[in-house]
Amino acid sequence: MLAQKVARSLTSRSASSPWMRFLNSSCSNGSSAAGSSSARAFSAKSDQWIPNCSMDTDVVHGGVTPNEETGAILTPVYMSTTFVQESVDKYLEKGYSYSRTNNPTVKMLEEKVAKIENGYDAICVSTGMAATASCINAFMNAGDHCVITNCSYGGTNRICREQFMRLGMEFDFVDFTDPATVEAAIKPNTKLIFSESPTNPTLTLADLDAISEIAKRHNVIHVCDSTFATPYVCRPMDHGADLTIQSLTKYYDGLNIGTGGALIARTPELYEKIKLVQNMHGNIMSPMTAFLMLQTMKTMGLRVRQQSSSAMKIATFLEGHPQVSRVVYPGLDSHPQKELADRQHRDGLHGGMLWFDVKGDPIKLMDSIKRPWTLCENLGASESIITACAVMTHANMLREDRLEVGITDGFIRISVGIEDPDDLIRGLDDALGQL
């Protein structure tokens, strides 16, 4: 009898079913939606908000209410594997049974990320690559085809070639700077269009409005990896995308503390599919990591604005340096897609990422640059990071593929932090002068 009841709960898709209750649980600080009246009873003012708050306000508060038992302003860390059920009939009534499926702390982060990205709901997982894998696993099967950008994060390129192709999926890696090229690559078995804007590391842009329109015309799902942009620079769902990928490790965390990823869905139907895959794969985030990211993301707007301003100043300096042959930053007039950048990016912000081609030995530059620059593999952090992509982040790409998309041997990627930009410029000038 119990087995039959559990089976029914896992197969039912009605809005009131236990399955949908944990899929659509809108719990803040561990309180179920049904129990939200008790939270409101804690303080009449704690749940009363002025309408139409800005992103800066939402990224701090994002629906969080004081804990109903203690009044704690922060979402508690629920380090609990399992959750006690009142009875079989009330199984999942509070939205939680087992932390692989749902955890109150992680759920709060998922809701906040979805709100900031203008989506319906989200899954938060262990890394950005976990979010990418979850997306492809949710929407593609053997024999299906994906049109994907020919310049993406190296890990995305590798998992498509080394794992998913081996499982019988097809991928065409094409130039996404021209929407017509994307449309021409669509086949009868195309199920997914995978864009990245700006791309890692070349900072090319995809016209998300045009590509989303193409996807809808062909009844294909459009997912965009928007890690470089952050929601402060561009929200793909504002431009018609069905799904957004974020490596939360980067700008959401911003402090080099934790790793995480998010896959945000536009609709309940898309969310149900990604949530099922997450639950089956056990692809989850630790409650402690979720708690930390709920705090670090509060300053994302402050950081991204400072990083964007500093990146523009550094890019302008590098354009005039004799040891630099090329500089690419979406805010520069020299960027080949400047018009699209200005149209698609929010509030005149173009992010903290840029790259340049050095005329001398890139390895010597890496080995000689002084602090505050940091030589490591990450981006989006408060610390400024410099990376030789050909031998570090994109070393797993085939050399011919790397060169085809413009990642030369002298390609230097910069992730601008929040330090004084003049100090960062002095550090670059010193290292470039030694070449």
Q: Helix/strand/coil (H, E, C) string of 188-253? A: CCEEEEEEECCCCCCCCCCCHHHHHHHHHHCCCEEEEECCCCHHHHCCHHHHCCCEEEEECCCCCC
102 closest CA partner among 72, 73, 80: 80
Give the start-end residues of each E strand in 259-329: 261-265, 324-328
Quote the pLDDT of residue 36: 36
Question: What is the spatial distance between Cα 229 and Cα 197, in angstroms, rounded to a whole number?
Answer: 7
Quote the pLDDT of residue 429: 98
Question: What is the spatial distance between Cα 325 and Cα 153, in angstroms, rounded to a whole number?
Answer: 24
Q: What is the spatial order of strands in the sheet that 243-247 belongs to?
A: 121-125, 261-265, 243-247, 221-225, 190-196, 145-149, 170-174
Quote the pLDDT of residue 229: 98
Question: What is the spatial distance between Cα 200 and Cα 362, in angstroms, rounded to a whole number?
Answer: 19
Q: What is the DSSP letter of 400?
A: H
Give the start-end residues of each E strand in 56-136: 121-125
Quote the pLDDT of residue 3: 41
3-state secondary structure 121-162: EEEEECCHHHHHHHHHHHHCCCCCEEEEECCCCHHHHHHHHH
Q: How many CA atoms lie within 13 A of 366 on its CB side?
A: 21
Phi-psi region of 132 (alpha: psi -120 to 50; beta: other; left: phi over 0): alpha
Token representation of residue 139: 């929407």
Question: What is the spatial distance between Cα 345 and Cα 234, in angstroms, rounded to a whole number?
Answer: 5
Rg (CA), the chain: 23
Question: What is the spatial distance between Cα 392 and Cα 407, in angstroms, rounded to a whole number?
Answer: 12
Question: What is the spatial distance between Cα 190 and Cα 173, in angstroms, rounded to a whole number?
Answer: 13
Quick check: 307 and 331 in contact, CB under 8 A?
Answer: no
Question: What is the spatial distance between Cα 409 and Cα 394, in angstroms, rounded to a whole number?
Answer: 11
Quick check: 286 and 264 in contact, CB under 8 A?
Answer: no
Question: What is the spatial distance between Cα 211 and Cα 240, in angstroms, rounded to a whole number?
Answer: 9
Q: What is the spatial order of strands in the sheet that 374-375 belongs to?
A: 324-328, 353-358, 411-415, 385-388, 374-375
With H, G, I as helix, E, B as strand and everything else as coil, classify residue 303: helix
Q: Which uninterrupted H or E stretch holds 385?
A: strand 385-388
By DSSP bridging, strand 190-196 and strand 221-225 are: parallel
Token representation of residue 213: 């329109």
Angle between helices 268-281 and 128-139 (to 10 degrees): 110
Question: What is the spatial distance between Cα 124 and Cα 131, in angstroms, rounded to a whole number?
Answer: 8
Question: What is the spatial distance between Cα 303 and Cα 349, in angstroms, rounded to a whole number?
Answer: 12
**pLDDT of the chain along its 435 residues, tens only?**
434 443 444 444 444 444 444 454 443 333 333 333 333 344 446 678 899 999 999 999 987 878 888 999 999 999 999 999 999 999 999 999 999 999 999 999 999 999 999 999 999 999 999 999 999 999 999 999 999 999 888 899 999 999 999 999 999 999 999 999 999 999 999 999 999 999 999 999 999 999 999 999 999 999 999 999 999 999 999 999 999 999 999 999 999 999 999 999 999 999 999 999 999 999 999 999 999 999 999 999 999 999 999 999 999 999 999 999 999 999 999 999 999 999 999 999 999 999 999 998 999 999 999 999 999 889 999 999 999 988 887 777 778 888 888 889 899 999 999 999 999 999 999 999 999
Predicted structure pTM score = 0.89
